[in-house]
């Protein structure tokens, strides 16, 4: 695992966010956590460098990640798919959904895949698989 670039951890549910945080600490890798309101356990975040965001606040999330000089991202932990009303998308999210159309709602993989491609191709982040961060040398 490279220690040169700062990792942004988008923390969902379960223990995976805490496991990735521990792996970063163990190897001295800099990181910043975006904790999802109503989804991420406060205990998983603890005293880490973090910010709380609502799920539909993609524009705010991107601003925070850039402010923190994050270059790589990992999506850590499951997130139950919200309804559009529950999501309350901000302008960035509305534009993303409008560009992608209804096909992203066909299944979770469609939405997640479109989001990952957007983060890499348009926003300039490298998106890592959680397993690569937890692999033992």
Q: Are 104 and 38 in contact (CB under 8 A)?
A: no
First-residue to last-residue Cα distance in the chain: 9
| Residue 104 token pair | 């992203």
| Residue 122 token pair | 């348009």
**Residue 74 neighbours by CB distance under 10 Å:** 24
Which residue segment(s) compose the domain that 31 sits in?
A: 6-131
Q: Give a yes or no: residue 137 inside a domain.
A: no
The model's pLDDT over 111-137, given as tens digits with 9 standing for 90+, comes to 677 778 888 888 899 999 999 999 755
Q: Give a yes or no: residue 84 inside a domain.
A: yes
Cα separation, 133 vs 55, in Å, equals: 23
Q: Give a yes or no: residue 91 inside a domain.
A: yes
Q: Give a yes or no: residue 108 inside a domain.
A: yes
Cα separation, 95 vs 98, in Å, equals: 5
Burial (0-12, 13-18, 19+ Cβ within 10 Å), 10: buried
For the chain, the C-alpha Rg in angstroms (whole number) is 14
Q: How many domains does one find in the chain?
A: 1
Q: Give a yes or no: residue 136 inside a domain.
A: no
The arithmetic mean of pLDDT across residues 91-114, rounded, is 68
- Which CATH number belongs to the domain containing residue 59 in this structure? 3.40.50.20
The model's pLDDT over 57-70, given as tens digits with 9 standing for 90+, comes to 889 999 999 999 99
Q: Are 104 and 66 in contact (CB under 8 A)?
A: no
Q: Give a yes or no: residue 1 inside a domain.
A: no
Output the pTM of the full model: 0.83
Q: What are the two backbone dihedrals, phi and then psi, of residue 29, each rounded to the nearest 5 degrees?
A: -80, 130
């Amino acid at each position: 695992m490279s220690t040169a670039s700062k990792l942004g951890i988008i923390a969902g549910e379960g223990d995976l966010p805490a496991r990735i945080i521990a792996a970063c600490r163990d190897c001295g890798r800099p990181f910043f956590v975006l904790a999802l309101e109503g989804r991420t356990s406060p205990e998983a975040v603890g005293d880490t460098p973090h910010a709380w965001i609502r799920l539909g606040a993609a524009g705010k999330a991107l601003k925070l990640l850039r402010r923190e000089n994050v270059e790589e991202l990992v999506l850590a932990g499951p997130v139950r798919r919200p309804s559009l009303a529950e999501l309350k998308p901000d302008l960035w999210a509305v534009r993303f959904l409008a560009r992608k159309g209804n096909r992203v709602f066909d299944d979770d993989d469609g939405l997640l895949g479109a989001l990952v491609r957007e983060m890499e191709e348009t926003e300039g982040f490298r998106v890592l698989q959680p397993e690569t961060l937890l692999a033992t040398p």
